[in-house]
Amino acid sequence: MNLQEVLAYIVKALQQEQIRFGIGGSLLLAHHGLPVTPRDIDLVVALEDAERAVQVLSEMGTVVEQDETSLYATQVFQEFIIEGIDVDLMSGLQIRHDEGIFVYPFAEQTINETELPFMSLVDWYVIYQLIPGREQKVAMIEHYLAEQEADRERLKQLRRLNLPQVVRNRIDQWLN
């Protein structure tokens, strides 16, 4: 199976179990036509559904043992290999930064359900700013948002959270 087939397989299984989740990462960027080559699947799952999601994905593939990292304070993080594709499940996503911890507010209403359940691009615009080495992806999203209408209400919600001032300043550019 290729990445798109594995994605469809996973989405169907999680939806059958009525697990609330969204697709993020490079698949989200590619969905918006940004020049990236997705190599894995990043899923963000509602915290209440995380245990069931881990169970479903465990039955579909192999669970990968994790190394601890000081960047993330995420409540549930599990990596899987399903049909040769790396799948990361995150729930209660939290990212440490110099000014505290950003707690990602999973919100079903921000997930686009027209085809596959993709997350909001502005959510990943903020998340990528908090992860070292993702500057190129942040720049690509900014270029995209300059040509599209950014979700201003979601940006306002995210800006109120615990973010470094530099990230708040970048969000302010889109709100002003």
pLDDT for residue 12: 95
Distance CA 97, CA 95 (A): 7
Segments of the chain scoring below 50 in pLDDT: none
pLDDT for residue 115: 75
> Which tens digits make up the pLDDT trace of 117-144?
999 999 999 999 999 999 999 999 999 9
pLDDT for residue 5: 96
Tokens standing for 103?
A: 């707690």
pLDDT for residue 67: 66
pLDDT for residue 75: 87
Beta-strand ranges (E) seen in 8-144 are 21-24, 40-45, 62-64, 76-82, 85-91, 94-97, 100-103
Terminal C-alpha separation, the chain: 45
Burial of residue 173 (CB within 10 Å: 0-12, 13-18, 19+) is exposed
Distance CA 148, CA 36 (A): 18
